[in-house]
Each structure stands twice: as C-alpha cells, then as structure tokens.
C-alpha cells in the first residue's frame, strides 16, 4: 500500500509548485521507510515549506496530554512552529499569513476523543476564513474502517475531546473525516484529500506493513488503540486508566479495588473479544502517583468481535456497582463533568450513579452509530 504522503510526493506535489506550504504534523508523519514528512518536504527541490504547525503533544511528540505547547523555532529545520495547542487551538490570521497551503499529515487512532481530528477541523475553518488551501495526506484508521460504535455528541457536551457529533469509534480515515467535516458540519475550505493506495477498510494497522509510531506518549501499541474507545472514559472517573504505566488504557485500577474480585466479576460478563487478569501497578504520574493500584489488565482475544465502547461502559458500570462508596465521577475545571464531555451526554453518568441498567443506552448507541454510517457513506474513499 501507499500512504497519502507517498502519493503526494510522487505526483500531487506538482499541483502546488510555487506555493508556500505549511505542514501540520508530528512524529507520526513518516513514510513507509520512517522518513519524516518534515524532512522529505524540506529536502524536496520543488516544495517550498515555510512553516510547521503543532497539535497536542507537540511537533516532536514529547509533551504530555493537556500540556500547553508554545510556538517556537524547530531546532532541526529552523522553521517556525506555530502551536495549535496553546493560547489558541484555532490558527490565527497571523499564523497563516506566510503560507498559501496547509498540508495535514497526522496519524489518528480512530476514536473521537483524540484531539488531532479537531485540530484538523479548526485548521479547515481558519483556511476558509483566510483564503488558504487545505490538503490532507490520508493515513489508515489503525483499528479498521468497518466497525462503528457509540453515541453522537450532544450539543451541551461538546469540547475539544468531543467537538463534533461523531461516534466514539468512528471508523473513518482522516481524509474521510475531512470530507465529512466540510460537507456535513460546515467546515468549509478549499479541500484536497490525497487518498492512500491499496488500503481496505478491513485492515488493521499491523496488516499494513507500516511501523507503529506512537501518536502520543500514552499510545504505545495497537492493543491500546483497540481498547481506547472504551477505556478512555475512565479519564472522567477516579479510577486510573493506566497513565504513568507501560500499559496505559489497558490497565485499569485504584487503591480501593481488589483485582481478583474485579477480574472474576468482569470475566463473568463474557464480553466478546476480551478477557481480564488481575494485576497491580504504581503510576508514575497522574491519578494515584506512586500509590499501589489493584485492578485488571485487559487482553484483546479477538479484535473482530471486540466491542470496545460497550466493554468500557460495562466495566465502569461494574466498578460503580461493586464500589459505590468509593467510585466517583470527576468534575472538570470548567464546572462540567469530564465524563460527560467524553461520553457526549449527561444522561449516562446519571444512569450509572442511580444504579440503572445501561443496556437501553447501548441499544440507542447502536441506532445512532448505524445512522452515522449511512450518513457518511458518500464520503468513503475505500
């Protein structure tokens, strides 16, 4: 297969000769042989790259989640780096004043909480406002393009982790998302998508022949990406999602949990494609820093049958029922609950607190995700 980057460098760059190019990328912007798109653009005799744009985690991927990024100068290339995760998440007129075209080359992980896709949306909006072209170099959805899971974000729960009404597991590539953003959500701009060649929706990342480059410090593996549509929801609770360990979003626990009790209860649910084992861990930062947490490690046994969103919700619901006196949802600094922002709805938290069954909510999710699949069908590239 060929990435959008490879296709662009073979022929499509010719359409932008003579134009000043800004590159929105990070360490995931590499070709099949791991050469960075930054270097490939800088060293190309007919590409005039004049600026870099950095999403969350920075241009070199070394900033932690939520850490503000400052605009700076890239020590490797000497190019200016404009931060899109600092004072402003939307590019300013000044940030775009020296360029004619923005090229987007970032690896998404297939879940709506991941902020790269909203950085793309804000860039599309700014390009429309300031008369710039926007080009997406497409990359695979690492957890495949067939399965879609979850509910659509309600208007009063929108934030930078759930900016638009798309499901928790959206099943689209960044190029397809750009087309959806433009045509369905009015992120109008002069958009060009450079598709991949020979990628199919049934392919997972380890079937592409590509090397896994962590999109962020806590995205070390494909298993993490598979579980993330469900386990990211733990960020809105007082349960550790495994940040500060070698298995973030695979290990779930807290000091008040008994790992054996939780393992037995979870495995009795017989959820498809996943099994738990008891474990303990000591996070090096974030929740319960340097405290021993007991809990479980989730192991993917069959990614084709795994419903990661359902799995994550049922695990949260299970912990809330086993430990009702200790389990809490965390309030966001804005006064809203982080869980609501991730879940895209306030009703789910209330159901869990009340001890109500969540199966009706999950049935509604299936209806909403099916409707989303129908809505985006005209924009599929593969």
Q: Using an 8 Å Cβ cutoff, are 258 and 294 in contact?
A: yes
Give CA–CA dist 316/320, Å, rounded.
Answer: 6
| CA distances to 36, 290, 341 from 105, in Å | 10, 37, 27
193 and 276 co-located in one domain: no
- Residue whose tokens read 């929801």: 233
Tell me the per-residue pLDDT of 220-273, one tens digit each, with 9 for 90 and over. 999 999 999 999 999 999 999 999 999 999 999 999 999 999 999 999 999 999
**Which tokens hold the place of 113?**
């909480």
258 and 119 co-located in one domain: no
Mean pLDDT on 282-308: 97
- Percent of all residues in the chain with a pLDDT value above 90, rounded to a whole number: 97
Beta 190-194 vs 133-137: how paired, if at all? parallel
Q: Using an 8 Å Cβ cutoff, are 111 and 170 in contact?
A: yes
Instruction: Tell me which residue range forms the domain holding 267.
Output: 222-345
Instruction: Provide the 3-class DSSP secondary structure of residue 41.
Output: helix
Tell me how far the alpha carbon of residue 318 is from its chain's centroid.
25
Helix axis angle, 308-322 to 347-354, nearest 10° = 40
**Which tokens hold the place of 283?**
């996070």
- Residue whose tokens read 């072209």: 133
Mean pLDDT on 139-155: 98
**Which tokens hold the place of 20?**
């000043």
**Which tokens hold the place of 302?**
């069959």
Supply the DSSP string of 240-286, one letter for each residue. Answer: B-STTSSSTTTEEEETT--HHHHHHHHHHT--TTEEEEEEEE--SSS
**Which tokens hold the place of 219?**
């995205």
169 and 73 co-located in one domain: yes
Mean pLDDT on 106-133: 98
Name the β-bridge partners of 72: 81
CATH number at residue 58: 3.40.50.12170
Residues 6+ apart with CB under 8 A from 348: 313, 339, 340, 358, 361
Give CA–CA dist 55/25, Å, rounded.
Answer: 7
178 and 291 co-located in one domain: no
Whether 193 shows a pLDDT value over 80: the answer reads: yes
CA atoms within 13 A on the CB side of 44: 24
Q: Point out the least confidently predicted range of 110-114, 305-309, 329-333.
A: 329-333
Give CA–CA dist 200/382, Å, rounded.
Answer: 6
Instruction: Provide the 3-class DSSP secondary structure of residue 7.
Output: helix
pLDDT at 90: 97
Whether 50 shows a pLDDT value over 90: the answer reads: yes
pLDDT at 332: 77
Whether 334 shows a pLDDT value over 90: the answer reads: no
Largest CA distance in the chain: 64
Tell me the per-residue pLDDT of 4-26, one tens digit each, with 9 for 90 and over. 999 999 999 999 999 999 999 99
Whether 333 shows a pLDDT value over 80: the answer reads: no
Mean pLDDT on 175-194: 98
Whether 365 shows a pLDDT value over 90: the answer reads: yes
Residues 6+ apart with CB under 8 A from 283: 240, 242, 243, 244, 245, 289, 290, 291, 293
Name the β-bridge partners of 133: 101, 190
**Which tokens hold the place of 74?**
């890239």
Tell me the per-residue pLDDT of 57-89, one tens digit each, with 9 for 90 and over. 999 989 999 899 999 999 999 999 999 999 899
234 and 322 co-located in one domain: yes
Whether 99 shows a pLDDT value over 80: the answer reads: yes
17 in any annotated domain? yes
242 in any annotated domain? yes
Instruction: Provide the 3-class DSSP secondary structure of residue 32.
Output: coil
365 in any annotated domain? no
Rounded to the nearest integer, the mean pLDDT of the chain is 97
The residue among 214, 232, 253 that closes a domain is 214
Q: Distance between the two ends of the chain, CA-based, in angstroms? A: 12
288 and 149 co-located in one domain: no
User: How many structural domains is the chain composed of?
Assistant: 2
């Amino acid at each position: 297969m060929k990435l959008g980057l490879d296709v662009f460098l073979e022929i499509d760059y010719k359409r932008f000769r003579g134009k000043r190019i800004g590159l929105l990328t990070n360490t995931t912007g590499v070709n099949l042989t791991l050469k960075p798109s930054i270097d490939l653009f800088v060293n190309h005799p007919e590409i005039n790259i004049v600026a870099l744009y950095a999403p969350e985690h920075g241009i070199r991927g070394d900033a932690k989640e939520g850490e503000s990024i400052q605009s700076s100068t890239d020590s490797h290339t000497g190019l200016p780096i404009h931060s899109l995760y600092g004072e402003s998440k939307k590019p300013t007129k000044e940030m775009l004043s020296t360029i004619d075209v923005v090229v987007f080359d970032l690896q998404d992980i297939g879940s709506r909480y991941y902020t790269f896709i909203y950085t793309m949306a804000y860039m599309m909006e700014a390009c429309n406002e300031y008369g710039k072209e926007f080009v997406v170099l497409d990359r695979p959805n690492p957890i495949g393009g067939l399965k879609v899971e979850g509910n659509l974000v309600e208007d009063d729960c929108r934030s930078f982790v759930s900016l638009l009404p798309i499901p928790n597991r959206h099943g689209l590539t960044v190029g397809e998302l750009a087309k959806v953003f433009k045509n369905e959500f009015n992120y109008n701009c002069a958009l060009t998508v450079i598709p991949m060649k020979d990628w199919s929706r049934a392919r997972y990342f380890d079937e592409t022949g590509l090397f896994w480059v962590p999109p962020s410090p806590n995205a070390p593996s494909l298993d993490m990406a598979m579980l993330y549509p469900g386990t990211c929801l733990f960020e809105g609770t007082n349960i550790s999602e495994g940040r500060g360990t070698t298995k973030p979003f695979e290990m779930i626990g807290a000091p008040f949990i008994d790992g054996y009790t939780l393992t037995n209860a979870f495995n009795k649910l017989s959820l498809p494609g996943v099994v738990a084992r008891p474990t303990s861990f000591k996070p090096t930062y974030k929740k319960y820093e340097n405290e021993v947490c007991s809990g479980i490690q989730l192991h993917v046994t069959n990614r084709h049958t795994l419903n990661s969103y359902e799995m994550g919700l049922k695990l949260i619901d299970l912990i809330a029922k086993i430990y009702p006196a200790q389990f809490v949802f965390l309030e966001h600094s804005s006064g809203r609950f982080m869980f609501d922002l991730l879940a895209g709805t306030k009703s789910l938290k209330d159901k869990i607190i009340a001890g109500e069954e969540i199966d009706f909510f999950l049935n509604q999710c299936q209806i909403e995700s099916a409707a989303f699949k129908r809505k985006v069908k005209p924009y599929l590239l593969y």
